[in-house]
A and B are shown apart, each in its own frame.
Chain A
């Protein structure tokens, strides 16, 4: 009888707390989804330089993303069969002038998954931006992959044309140094984060993989079009 009472007590209290927490979770799902969507929209506006997110309202950011970014196409990497969402950013809602393309990247960092977007120019020759959407790297160390100093080389333009055989698309370099002209690293190097070598290496790996997939998918699309 005592054992039954104990089991009943556990069942009742677990059901009560479980129901309470589940109810709270369900009541917040919509808000959380909206928050996540807004974080992504804000990141895309920043990535393509479509406005100053500090001065724009939530609605204005949503309007810019809906009107100036076309997300209707996907590319296919012929090597892996992976579908790559293609983002096309225009300077106005009329879609007259394409300013950049974008595609997602993701991979495992030092602690957990890292997700983000890379923007490349309309000629597909260099990067024009990098934005990390979500990451759980060490705050102050690997977590600095979101900071301006890390993404600056991508905004300034790193070469993403096919490298020479055996070379990488992108290289990780020591902070404060720049590769010599004529070397494979020239125009393709971003700074590692001091004290966060593993996160920097992980970023290098996932960015190279994403750019390689994107380039293969673009070549595949071009070949298909001919």
Chain B
């Protein structure tokens, strides 16, 4: 069986685009708005989220047979929080300069609906390996949207990418302050959601017609 036809493969690939967590499932919006004014911060946030989502899904799936139904969400939050704290401690200890920049955002990963959403919707009902892949796919799908938004916001807001000035910045660039501020993220998110949904729905309707 080809990878894309396996349960894990379908979950991973589906989360990248067709079931993208941000513009299809409308999850993880808070951090999408918060961190996307600088690409570097965005990439670090995405790395932390991929780690936390994948490992939370894996752990919750492994424990799913033992977790009492009444307390499953408490257990999920506990597991997610533990992984996020691990990310925070690791960055704080090994990359203090980076922690200084994104420290306040790392805690936000705990509140990211994607992790809880995938844990509840997928990991609590499926085996470990597909759940792990689902977590990776959801993390990468989230990252794709965030990176796209961050590239536009940083370029228009600062005239830079990853902190490096864009070519001939002094000639053409005029600061769009709104792009650095939260309203800029709302506009960009709406545009990405509009584009993504239009494209996905168009493809789905084409597929249905066939």
Contacts and interface: CB of A to CB of B under 8 A. Distances in A.
Contacts, number: 71
A5 interface: yes
Interface in B26-60: 37-38, 41
A38 to B, nearest CB: 8
B6 interface: no
A13 B62 CA distance: 13
Interface string A132-160: 00101011110100000000000000000
B92 A35 contact: yes
Given A21-B86, A141-B180, A32 B71 contact: no
A28 B95 CA distance: 12
Interface stretch (B98-106, B121-129, B197-205): B98-106
Contacts of B101: 139, 143
Contact of A17 (B41, B67, B70, B79): B79
Contacts of A10: 71, 74-75
B68 A194 contact: no
A134 B96 CA distance: 11
A112 interface: yes
A5 B68 contact: yes
Contacts of A9: 66-68, 71, 75
Contacts of A32: 92-93, 96
A80 interface: no
A111 interface: yes
Contact of A39 (B100, B175, B180): B100
B157 A140 contact: yes
A136 B158 contact: no
Interface string A22-33: 001100100110
B89 interface: yes
> Chain B interface residue count: which class?
20 to 34
A6 B38 contact: no
B139 to A, nearest CB: 21
Nearest to B78: A17
A47 B101 CA distance: 20
A64 B78 CA distance: 45
A2 B68 CA distance: 9
A140 B104 CA distance: 14
B82 interface: yes
23 contacts: A2-B68, A6-B68, A9-B67, A10-B71, A10-B75, A13-B78, A20-B82, A21-B82, A21-B85, A21-B86, A24-B85, A32-B92, A32-B96, A35-B93, A36-B96, A111-B104, A136-B103, A138-B181, A140-B157, A140-B158, A141-B180, A195-B180, A195-B181
Given A21-B82, A195-B181, 13 more contacts: A2-B68, A6-B68, A9-B68, A9-B71, A9-B75, A28-B93, A112-B104, A136-B104, A138-B180, A138-B181, A139-B41, A140-B180, A141-B180
